[in-house]
Structure 1
């Protein structure tokens, strides 16, 4: 796994979600547009790639969903508009719909949030990522995955880089990484709630 030369994807991720959170928390402008949302979500991919085999499948799936939403942004301006169109077309729960892909992308955002929360709670610098990432996976994705996928992920957990190796690939040290992880955890929470509320406020489920 190569170092991401001259890039700080963790900072880019935290900054992008801080911008989205500012929109959600605004008293005057609280509607997230599809294009900037996709741009922010694209910064998750480098992190998934750094996790190696265990989450290679997740990155492929995640990127395809973000790409679908990015394509949709050419004709659909906001996330509420995106969901409204699928509601009108009665295709919210259909595999491959923009709305379903939005939910799957939301889970990717949530996975990273829970992972960072676990890492921030750890005190050892060079510790294993296995337990924090296993906790994040079990909470966010495992309930929706078939046994074969869960088994493959479990096997891949033994090939993860250490936390120190991950930070090196992300061009961060312990101190800077903690700042960016904390910024992301704080910023992603209202964005995740925003997406969930888009569905719940319309009487739609978020577990499909």
Structure 2
């Protein structure tokens, strides 16, 4: 196997700015392969590459405009906490074990609680993409509203749900979204499907971390 060429951070930032969806999809394909151990069986997912991939998703929330500003702000703060935690904890399992030992899994601001919120953000984007691709006649407002109701609404207070509902009218059109993502109808379908397929095992992995320790997911 040949030597890997060191990545240039400036080029990576430029790529993310040029085609953010493609960059996110590729990052989560890498994470899903890590979970599978590159075909050698499940492994313990490391926190640093996971949180790094999750940080890229913030750009997608930004492309959705004001309606998803609440999600962008909450999501980015939780991801930043996990990035900081990666200096101390090696894996996702290790932060959960630490919080279990300290009876702080559901405590406001705990790494485990922030992991749950990041997981919701990943699932929200996945559900939105699934709805978007379900029909060429489906508006972004319809796709986003359905995705929000499925994923986040059960965990949000009525005031937040009401504000989100009002903000849905400010979502970009499908054509405007394509322009912001720098994609075509054909390429956006390909990249959204990549993200859907690669994020699913990541979301399931996080859920199983909690369920395997008899921690319910209704919070």
* Class of the TM-score when normalised by the shorter of the 2 chains: over 0.9
Aligned to 1:67: 80
Question: Residues 176, 14 of structure 1: CA spacing in aligned structure 2 closer, same or farther, 3 A cutoff?
Answer: same
What is the DSSP-based 3-state SS (H/G/I as helix, E as strand, rest coil) of the residue aligned with 1:205? coil
Aligned to 1:141: 152
- Among 95, 100, 116, the alignment partner of 2:113 is 100
Moved more, 23-32 or 144-153: 23-32
Q: TM-score, normalising length from structure 2?
A: 0.89
Cα shift at 1:6: 4.9
Cα shift at 1:119: 1.1
What is the DSSP-based 3-state SS (H/G/I as helix, E as strand, rest coil) of the residue aligned with 1:94? coil
Cα shift at 1:28: 4.4
Cα shift at 1:166: 0.7
Aligned to 1:131: 142
User: Per-residue CA shift, 1:74-93, capped at 9, x if unaligned?
Assistant: 01010011111111111001
Cα shift at 1:37: 0.6
Q: TM-score, normalising length from structure 1?
A: 0.94
Aligned to 1:14: 25
What is the DSSP-based 3-state SS (H/G/I as helix, E as strand, rest coil) of the residue aligned with 2:217? coil
- Distance in 2, matches of 1:196 and 1:6, equals 31
Matched, 1:166 2:157: no
What is the DSSP-based 3-state SS (H/G/I as helix, E as strand, rest coil) of the residue aligned with 1:207? coil
User: Per-residue CA shift, 1:42-73, capped at 9, x if unaligned?
Assistant: 11111111111111111011000000000000
> Contact conserved, 1:9 with 1:47, CA < 8 A, in 2?
yes
Cα shift at 1:200: 0.2
Length, aligned pairs only = 203
> Contact conserved, 2:16 with 2:23, CA < 8 A, in 1?
no
- Among 61, 81, 97, the alignment partner of 2:94 is 81
Moved more, 18-27 or 152-161: 18-27
> Contact conserved, 1:14 with 1:181, CA < 8 A, in 2?
yes
Identify unmatched segments of 5+ residues in structure 1.
Answer: none
Identify unmatched segments of 5+ residues in structure 2.
Answer: 1-14
- Distance in 2, matches of 1:99 and 1:6, equals 30
Aligned to 2:34: 23
What is the DSSP-based 3-state SS (H/G/I as helix, E as strand, rest coil) of the residue aligned with 2:139? coil
> Contact conserved, 1:128 with 1:161, CA < 8 A, in 2?
no
RMSD: 1.4
